[in-house]
Structure 1
Amino acid sequence: MPEAVGKLQLKSSFKTTQTIRPLYTGGKVAISPDENLLITTVGDSVIVTDIHNGNNVFHLSGDSELITTFAITPDGNQIITSSRSLVVKIWDLKTGLIKKSFKAHEAPIIVMDIDPTSSLVATGSADSTVKVWDIDENNQWTLISGADDCNIRVWDLQDRKCVAVLKSHVSMIRGLDMSNDGRFLISGSRDKVVNIWDFNKKVLLKTFPIFEIIETLGVLQPNTTISNTEEDFEGELFYTGGDKGIIRIWDFQTGKLIKTQEPEKNTKHVISDIIYLRKSNLLTAITSDQNILFYHINSGLRRVKQIIGYNDEIIDLAYVGKGETHLAIATNTEQINLYNIKSFDFNIIYGHTDIVICLDKSYDGTVLVSGSKDHTARIWNIDVDNENLDHRVKCLGICIGHTAAIGTVAFSKKSLKFCLTGSQDRTIKYWDLSYLDDQSKPDENFRPRALYTNKAHDKDINSIAVAPNDMIFATGSQDKSVKIWSINDGKLLGTCSGHKRGVWSVQFSPVDKTIVTSSGDKTIKIWSTTDFTCLKTFEGHTNTVLKASFLTSGTQLMSCGSDGLLKLWTIKSNECVATLDNHTEKIWALTVRKDENVVVSGGADSLINLWEDCTTEEMEKRVKEEEEQILKEQDLANYLLKKDYKNAITLTMSLNQPFRLLNLFTEILNGRTEGDTSITGSESIDNIITNLSKDDLEQLLKYIRDWNTNAKHFRTAQTILHVILKTFSSEKLLEINGIKELLDGLLPYTERHYQRLDRMITDSFLVDYTLHSMNIIDTLHMDISDNED
């Protein structure tokens, strides 16, 4: 271990500078008419987000019941929400405040829509009824509804009656829209067909087979052009989305398929809704895995933007990009999420066919390796600065050979020559990646070679780490052991034994020949890589320690665990110098930025926290406070010298020095002159106490309560208490926070001292004060009891 730290400043404080929270947990999604706001549901709340920068505009808190649906008025001024509590709320989108709330149905509202004038809202409920509410002014409108009875109904809202029932579908109606001229109605159902109806005659004109369970559809605006189509076409178009997870555009007149979105690789999601953004000519797909995908219509349904609504459990994290501007996130799904820390920009990396478990990056952040339950590891080229969304991430090869899930991966620390994988099949593999140095990089069809495979442990391998010099590597396993290996030939060099439960993480020191390990036995250990002995053990977590990383050039550690806490340790002293708490569940992921000023943690609570080192800031703040304290102390000495008791008392209370204040009051009381009519011995002191603010009065009463417990200070305490009880009304005293507890602390000692004084009859005026105090305190207790009743 290093003896001298030199000019290295040990870290002692971290603060959260950014928290990436769930944005969408399922249900309805809407985008404001000006296309600037994204409105989503998270549990019982509605979140309004700036779609361009990700800033939270409003958090519309619910009533502890899940939001079932909502709608935004076409003028963009109001949001109407409904929840399982059956209450409908109308929110002002400019202020985020509730304008009105009412109960609408006898069962939860499932669907909701608002007319083009923003005056009427139609609600469809699980109670089999549709209701129309006037939220602004009276109008005459026609309403069209579809239900799980497979029928479409047309309602005359003026006469409040159903004027037509359209029957043809044989499954639940999932989409309705009107042609641009209002002559035709289009309907889509889970029976995999789309129907075109003559709306005036209320008759079926055409049926188009879609060969997909339809969840949503809509009509595009006139004269919409789409590039990369096989032939020109005229007339209206409509779009569909459903269980195939792709957007398709069709000819309204013929039912011919015009354009299909390029499928995302190895996806299993369903499109639950599509939002048509007319202004920017985008179709926004809402997927069953809580992602929001934007496709540009004119450019042939090319994906131009992604918003990740819900990260699920954060399993692993890695900084990527040359400037470490992005985070690669493994989130208990088949995809890897790529998040731009500085802007509201996402990429979803598709490719794996099962949950991604682990990530690691190359030394320069341009290549990422991922391990998955699909038994493969994938190599990815990361070009975060590429303006073309499709070219930011490219698969450069798939490592195939393990027979079970890959639980850990590790990249070379100095080059792009190799990576290591560890699997539940209990083997480690060394993969030759020297081909990455070639300028003409391969695609995902390339299969890197495994130069050697070793059976490493008797149970699952949880962690692999490569030494800074690329000469050795370490593995940690559920079999409680840590092993050190030679990189060149995979030869076992030694075993570190001592943990009492499985080892969850291993990492090499950046400066010493040591490794740090964390375990299910709630400890962190530092081991020598030369003689494989345990050098230090750190205890403090109350549950499994899942990750531990070196900080401050190897002189400190940051750890995280199943207790939801991060802990900062100083190695030399074995001291935990800080505990960071902003997670509610176990913390699986921990990564450190190269400059070691930012630590990122991710947990099972779906939160990602960025913790920034604020040690220097805290030290400067502490020095400033100490300087201010010295100046105040000097001012206080000057006030006392000048007998400026008003400022002296105020300053003493601000410095929170009750004993010094007690001495000040005692000195004044002892200096009382004969014939003085004041209570404290000074008229000015009486006035100062009389004019105390509510907060200062509360603080002074706490001081008196403490002084009152000591017989030596009883006389002073009772005198000051008498001033307060004589000059402040009971109504004023009852406004003080915790007055009941304060009085409970005062009364027993006041009674005891009164009995003692009454027997001795040595200080008649103090006996009177004490009796008076007791009577007032009793009265106040009665007032408190009356208020509580």
Structure 2
Amino acid sequence: MAPSQALKTTFKPSRVVQPFYSGGAGCVALDSSGRILVTAYGDEAVITDIESGAEIARIDGLEDEISTLALAPDARYLILCISKSYQMHTYALSPDFTTSPVTVTPEQERQARQTTPTIVCAVDPTGTLVATGGADGIVKVWDVRKGFVTHNLRGHGGLVSALSFFMAEGETTVPVVAKKGKKKVMGRFMLATGGEDTTIRVWDLETTTNVATLQQHGSIVRGLDWSTDGTRLLSGGRDGVMCLFDTKTWNAVVTPTGEEVEAVGFVKPGVFVREDGGRVDKLVFAAGRQDRVRVWDLAKGEEITKEAKVEEDEEKGIIQIIYHKNLTSLLSVHHDYTIQIHSFHLPSPAPISLPTTRHITTNYDQILDLQYLPPDSSLIAIATNSENVSLVSSATFHDVAILRGHTETILALDVDWSGRWLATAGKDNDARLWKIDAENNSFTCAAVFTGHAESVAALSLPRQRPQEGSKAATEKLPPKFMLTGGADRTIKKWDVSVDGKKPRAVWTKRAHEKDINAIDVSPDDTLFASASQDRTVKIWSLEEGETIGVLRGHRRAVWSVKFAPAGVSAAVVGGEAGMKGGKMVVTGSTDKTVKLWGLADYSCIKTFEGHTNSIQRALWISGGLQVVSGGNDGLVKVWDVKSGECSATLDNHEQRIWALATRPDEEFSGSTIVSADAEGVITIWADVTSETIAEADAKEQALVEEEQKLHNYISIKDYRSAISLALSLNHPGRLLNLLQSVTSATPETGSLSGLVAVDEVLASLSDSQLGVLLCRIRDWNTNARTAVVAQRVLHVLLRNYGAQRLMGLRGVGRDVWDALGSYTDRHYKRMEELVEESFMVEYTLREMEQVMADGTGMEIEW
């Protein structure tokens, strides 16, 4: 067995991935560089570097949920609108784009109060003005820097649902038609507003006049955008149409979209590319309930993306699109808490939506299982409370692929030795095998395993690596078999086939009396274990599918079972039980215990107790010398297999931990633990045991050197250095001994403490040293044995420092002076009582002396 120092005892979170978006249109913003992403998560605003995926700031303490937000294009200002309190908070971010990731320093500039809840807000292209639309139909325009209202725009009969600024770069000569038919020149600063009353109002911000009121929609207006030159205004609504207005005449071209439109916009000329050739400049985009970004050619009046009949789903759909004209991509926000970045490079033949170049899941909800994918662990498979599996980059946690195929929630994942084959199982009673080819960006379902009568909650692939140089190793062939089990209480062994033939079950066994929660195959592929709600774990022969042993001892359902790594036997635990040898398994149960079992006689070798709730996962780390477990108490515990003691408790979750994994590559095995909980929080724990030991050794060495230095100062009577060092090292015992030796010696003439040199040192202390010393004097003064030295030193301090300086010391509160005063009064009272008692003693002694004298001189007559 490896020496104890090889065990991992200290972990720290190297990265924490938290939900950062809780839904809602208008609750996502992106700066014009495409780097800084701001999202609302309940009553918090989360700022993320979209390139690295790192969270760079989180603004909390807002006391209520954010209803909408806006970000200045240059990311200098962030505006947050609060739902119930009607507050609008303005933050200065001071971004630094020279660092990686980008850094921001949020500082609240001001807050203002609205009269009704703010529904939408938007910042103008210069970052100077922000417009807010309320539930009362009033649009207010604010000066971002100074915080006052510049415009109050009234006219909408219901809540305001859309806003769009137009800022002309120079003098505009676009004529517009006023209400009475008279033409006038369109202003340089315009604002278009849409409302629940189905109208669009156009405002000239220089004159604060309503230029036009447009009534082409039959439902709430959700999207507005101006063309670059201001000659066109585009709108979209939930009536399923887009309207293109000519700002010269305000005549409209109405285009049915076949879906409820949530966002529209103009595409900047020159950024759209088609593989089949040809440049298309006059383009608009629209998105809504069909969950796709569609593009139309205004010149031809036709849709460029492929027309398709897509069924609308209440749980899907695009609710917001962010597009800055200087970018070559746009960002879409989806109803399922995902954010996608789309490229304007359209392949041929045209797809039904703009191609997605990046997919970000902002809220995983409940994470039920996750697995690192070998060989380099660059990908992580995550099963959430949905029918899809997310493959994410372990570096950025951006989605690499979404595996779609299951029709119900996925409950379990497993991966083979190569990372090329991923197995999934779920509530749709099926299991699937996926071929993962990240190099070629290919992720396909290779086989579907159908046969269980109820949900499949447990599965396992082979553990034994193929022989080096063999065809299976070089070509990374599919696994030879797969085991599945679930709520129908049966276990099936499948003969894996990926050649198009339907996989068949080699055998099916009625395994347990209740649901099967977990299955694991032994490292040599000869045995497998199954854990069940019936409180038992069974050991099976893999080839025949026959039970060869039953592990009994858990008092409640068993949720996890794992074989010990190859080469690790029960002998590693030591003691009489450990001498039996043989293979081991570790189990976790609802009875709050983790148990080690020896398979020589199927007995429990050790029980680890410490969790306060059910244990969902238990895994081996450190080559089989330690076990890590995660439970519903939100704790991750690391156990020493030999001693049975808890080596470390890792606490960073507030919800139950359902998923626990380690990196499978040998270099990091056991050095990186990842845990995930029911709230979607993922914590990556890094082993820092060696660094902690080295740091402790360095501190101990430094302490020894400082103590030797202190001893040397005392030896050469360098009291200034000795007292300063004792105060800085926080050595009250050493300092007390030093001062006691000074005060107990024969005092020098003119010294208060006993030595003139010590008086000089005590009279020239810094404020920090003085504060520490007063706290030490307070403690010494509480004990009669050390009160004398405390009083002598206090006398020196009171004679050399003014009351104003002593009372103003940081860390020296009223409680210090109250304690000094009360204990000093007690000591003086005790001394007074001693003096009084001494008179009685002196009287008694004089009388006894007289009696003794009388006894020697003459006989006393009574």
TM over 0.5: yes
TM-aligned CA distance change 1:209 to 1:314, over 3 Å: same
Equivalent in 331, 340, 345 of residue 293 of structure 1: 340
In structure 1, runs of 5+ residues without a counterpart are 765-789
1:671 paired with 2:745, answer: yes
> Partner letter of residue 428 of structure 1?
I
Q: 2:290, 2:312 within 8 Å by CA — same for their partners in 1?
A: no
State the distance in 2 between where 1:147 and 1:496 align.
67
State the distance in 2 between where 1:558 and 1:241 align.
47
State the distance in 2 between where 1:407 and 1:265 align.
30
Q: Structure 1, residues 110-138: CA drift from partner, whole Å, max 9, x if none?
A: 11223333333221112221112234698
- Aligned-pair CA distance for 1:264: 11
State the distance in 1 between where 2:20 and 2:705 align.
49
1:127 paired with 2:127, answer: no
Q: Tell me the equivalent position of 2:427.
A: 373
Q: Tell me the equivalent position of 2:643.
A: 573
> Partner letter of residue 615 of structure 1?
T
State the distance in 1 between where 2:312 and 2:217 align.
32
1:68 paired with 2:67, answer: yes
1:314 paired with 2:367, answer: yes
> Partner letter of residue 598 of structure 1?
T
Q: Structure 1, residues 537-586: CA drift from partner, whole Å, max 9, x if none?
A: 11111222222111222121111212221111112111112111122222
Q: Tell me the equivalent position of 1:176.
A: 224
TM-aligned CA distance change 1:384 to 1:747, over 3 Å: farther
1:272 paired with 2:316, answer: no
State the distance in 2 between where 1:136 and 1:659 align.
57
List aligned pairs for 1:615-634, cutoff 5 A: 615-634=689-708
State the distance in 1 between where 2:722 and 2:307 align.
77
Give the aligned length. 746
1:402 paired with 2:456, answer: no
Q: Structure 1, residues 323-366: CA drift from partner, whole Å, max 9, x if none?
A: 11222112222222222223464224131222222211111222
State the distance in 2 between where 1:192 and 1:308 align.
28
- Aligned-pair CA distance for 1:668: 0.5
Q: 2:403, 2:443 within 8 Å by CA — same for their partners in 1?
A: no
State the distance in 1 between where 2:132 and 2:368 align.
40
State the distance in 2 between where 1:703 and 1:180 align.
72
> Partner letter of residue 463 of structure 1?
A
State the distance in 2 between where 1:479 and 1:494 align.
15
User: So what's the TM-score if we normalise by structure 2?
Assistant: 0.81
State the distance in 1 between where 2:646 and 2:530 align.
26
TM-aligned CA distance change 1:658 to 1:221, over 3 Å: closer
> Secondary structure of the residue that 1:584 maps to in structure 2?
coil
Equivalent in 779, 782, 785 of residue 712 of structure 1: 785
> Partner letter of residue 370 of structure 1?
T
Q: Tell me the equivalent position of 1:49.
A: 48
Equivalent in 511, 527, 532 of residue 477 of structure 1: 532
State the distance in 2 between where 1:16 and 1:509 align.
26
List aligned pairs for 1:651-690, cutoff 5 A: 651-673=725-747, 676-690=749-763
Q: Tell me the equivalent position of 2:587.
A: 517
TM-aligned CA distance change 1:124 to 1:325, over 3 Å: same
List aligned pairs for 1:2-401, cutoff 5 A: 4-5=1-2, 9-27=6-24, 28-61=27-60, 63-84=62-83, 85-95=85-95, 96-98=105-107, 100-103=109-112, 105-135=114-144, 141-203=189-251, 205-222=252-269, 225-227=272-274, 236-252=282-298, 255-260=301-306, 268-300=315-347, 301-343=354-396, 345-351=398-404, 352-386=406-440, 391-401=441-451
Sequence identity of aligned pairs in percent?
37
TM-aligned CA distance change 1:756 to 1:93, over 3 Å: closer
Equivalent in 750, 753, 761 of residue 824 of structure 2: 750
Q: Tell me the equivalent position of 1:783.
A: none
Q: 1:321, 1:383 within 8 Å by CA — same for their partners in 2?
A: no
Q: 1:421, 1:429 within 8 Å by CA — same for their partners in 2?
A: yes
- Aligned-pair CA distance for 1:191: 1.3
> Partner letter of residue 523 of structure 2?
P
State the distance in 2 between where 1:679 and 1:413 align.
79
TM-aligned CA distance change 1:646 to 1:304, over 3 Å: same
State the distance in 1 between where 2:126 and 2:689 align.
56
State the distance in 2 between where 1:424 and 1:240 align.
45
State the distance in 2 between where 1:666 and 1:10 align.
45
Q: 1:266, 1:353 within 8 Å by CA — same for their partners in 2?
A: no
List aligned pairs for 1:399-548, cutoff 5 A: 399-414=449-464, 416-433=479-496, 435=497, 447-510=502-565, 511-512=568-569, 513-548=583-618
Q: 1:330, 1:337 within 8 Å by CA — same for their partners in 2?
A: yes
State the distance in 1 between where 2:50 and 2:66 align.
21
Q: 2:88, 2:111 within 8 Å by CA — same for their partners in 1?
A: yes
State the distance in 2 between where 1:263 and 1:756 align.
97
State the distance in 2 between where 1:279 and 1:182 align.
17
- Aligned-pair CA distance for 1:318: 0.7
Q: Structure 1, residues 440-465: CA drift from partner, whole Å, max 9, x if none?
A: x66xxx64222222222222222111
> Partner letter of residue 495 of structure 1?
V
State the distance in 2 between where 1:763 and 1:639 align.
43
Q: 1:476, 1:506 within 8 Å by CA — same for their partners in 2?
A: yes
State the distance in 1 between where 2:346 and 2:52 align.
24
Equivalent in 597, 600, 624 of residue 671 of structure 2: 597
TM-aligned CA distance change 1:710 to 1:78, over 3 Å: closer
TM-aligned CA distance change 1:420 to 1:692, over 3 Å: farther
> Partner letter of residue 485 of structure 1?
W
Deviates more, 1:685-694 or 1:124-133: 685-694
Deviates more, 1:575-584 or 1:55-64: 55-64
> Secondary structure of the residue that 1:712 maps to in structure 2?
coil
- Aligned-pair CA distance for 1:55: 3.3
Q: Tell me the equivalent position of 1:772.
A: none
Q: Structure 1, residues 256-299: CA drift from partner, whole Å, max 9, x if none?
A: 32204999999952111122354453232211121111222222
TM-aligned CA distance change 1:104 to 1:657, over 3 Å: closer
> Secondary structure of the residue that 1:761 maps to in structure 2?
helix
Deviates more, 1:249-258 or 1:162-171: 249-258
State the distance in 2 between where 1:530 and 1:132 align.
78
Q: Tell me the equivalent position of 1:607.
A: 681
State the distance in 2 between where 1:489 and 1:630 align.
65
Q: Tell me the equivalent position of 2:714.
A: 640
State the distance in 1 between where 2:520 and 2:812 align.
55
TM-aligned CA distance change 1:652 to 1:536, over 3 Å: same
- Aligned-pair CA distance for 1:508: 0.9
TM-aligned CA distance change 1:725 to 1:354, over 3 Å: farther
Q: 1:262, 1:302 within 8 Å by CA — same for their partners in 2?
A: no
- Aligned-pair CA distance for 1:762: 9.6
TM-aligned CA distance change 1:570 to 1:167, over 3 Å: same
- Aligned-pair CA distance for 1:76: 4.5
Q: Tell me the equivalent position of 1:785.
A: none
TM-aligned CA distance change 1:7 to 1:14, over 3 Å: closer
State the distance in 1 between where 2:131 and 2:335 align.
25
TM-aligned CA distance change 1:124 to 1:604, over 3 Å: same
Q: Tell me the equivalent position of 2:180.
A: none
